[in-house]
Structure 1
Amino acid sequence: MRGRVFLWCAGGVLVTALAAGGVWWNWFRAPYALADSPGVDVTVRAERSRYPDVRETAEDVDTLVRVYVQRLGAGDAEGLTRLAAPSYRGAEAAAADTVHTYGKAASGHVEVTVLEGVVDYLNPIRVTFEKTGQQQELLLVKDDGHWWLALGEGDPAGGA
């Protein structure tokens, strides 16, 4: 009898652990990641600010901006489109234009400065491409717990 109770409890713990792992995998894991190549040379830093949340945001958006620079340097407009905020439309054309304008510049060192945002779900960044001296201002949008690019046309506060 004790053996059955133990197995039943162990089975319950295993099911709970698997459910928790599934929630983490789908909810907290970013829906984008760096590919194996090409390599990127990106520095992400927070603008000097009296507000600590600027540094926290810089840490939060680090992966997104590295993936952005990687897809840009690879000329991967389709990959950039997948980084667009869910509520944005016309991301395909905007991504193609971005690759055309900044793609070659992304193969060198890139400095990304996270600027002070007005609200906690919108944050501007400045991307400086050292290879060409070009600068780009981008808006990042937080939706469903993840940061996205404001790429195309849309309401940044609209949500999905």
Structure 2
Amino acid sequence: MTRLAVSLGSGLLVVKITAGVWWNWFREPYTLADAPKVDVKVRAEESTYPDVQETTEDVDTLVRVYVQRLKGGDANGIAELAGPAYKQPGPTAAKYVREYGQAAGGPVDVTVLEGSVGYFNSVTVAYRRTGQRQDLLLVKDDGHWWIGLGDGDPAAGS
């Protein structure tokens, strides 16, 4: 084997390891599906603190996936959005589908509220079709945002 072949092989190994680390640690563990389509506007509460806008950008995908799964009646998919410290999120997810599933079929406005700590944040979900409002607690764990569903104490750690 030539030095060039060894160098190329080593370089490819480094690229594969780096891609694997990114894929497993940095990509979001949930993604928006192609269907059903949802009409969701996510905005930050008016605030003098710039971190509210930053949090809004961070949680945007999570709340869109949540509304999409609500609209699709996917309680199991919603349960997968539960924070790691929460146990048995299924009953809460099923309750949310019953209460808000049809409302998620219309326009939805999500307001990210000013949080007091960096790993908890509340959002208000307003369903324009029905006039319903829902308050959700979002929890940041291992670099990703999750929804507080089921029983758990995220402050105690996972």
- TM-score of the pair, normalised by structure 2: 0.97
Q: 2:18 aligns with which of 13, 17, 20?
A: 20
How do 1:9-158 and structure 2 match up within 5 A?
9-158=7-156
> Which amino acid counterpart does residue 120 of structure 2 have in structure 1?
L
> Which amino acid counterpart does residue 16 of structure 1 have in structure 2?
V
> Which amino acid counterpart does residue 11 of structure 2 have in structure 1?
V
| Alignment RMSD | 0.9
> Which amino acid counterpart does residue 75 of structure 2 have in structure 1?
A
Question: What is the rounded CA distance, in whole Å, between the counterparts of 2:76 and 2:20 in structure 1?
Answer: 28
C-alpha displacement of 1:156: 2.5
Question: What is the rounded CA distance, in whole Å, between the counterparts of 1:13 and 1:145 in structure 2?
Answer: 28
Question: What is the rounded CA distance, in whole Å, between the counterparts of 2:28 and 2:38 in structure 1?
Answer: 19
The list of structure 1 runs, each at least 4 consecutive aligned residues, that deviate by more than 2 angstroms after superposition, is: none
C-alpha displacement of 1:81: 0.4
C-alpha displacement of 1:89: 1.5
Is the deviation greater in 83-92 or in 63-72? 83-92
Q: Residue 112 of structure 1 aligns to a residue in which SS?
A: strand
Question: What is the rounded CA distance, in whole Å, between the counterparts of 1:44 and 1:133 in structure 2?
Answer: 17
> Which amino acid counterpart does residue 22 of structure 2 have in structure 1?
W
> Which amino acid counterpart does residue 50 of structure 1 have in structure 2?
T
C-alpha displacement of 1:43: 0.4
Which digits, 9 at most, give the CA deviation of each residue in 1:127-159, with x for residues without a partner?
000000100000000011110000111112133
> Which amino acid counterpart does residue 91 of structure 2 have in structure 1?
A
Question: What is the rounded CA distance, in whole Å, between the counterparts of 2:105 and 2:4 in structure 1?
Answer: 58
Question: What is the rounded CA distance, in whole Å, between the counterparts of 2:87 and 2:128 in structure 1?
Answer: 30
Question: What is the rounded CA distance, in whole Å, between the counterparts of 1:121 and 1:35 in structure 2?
Answer: 26
Give aligned-pair identity as a percent.
59
Q: Residue 121 of structure 2 aligns to a residue in which SS?
A: strand
Question: What is the rounded CA distance, in whole Å, between the counterparts of 1:21 and 1:158 in structure 2?
Answer: 32
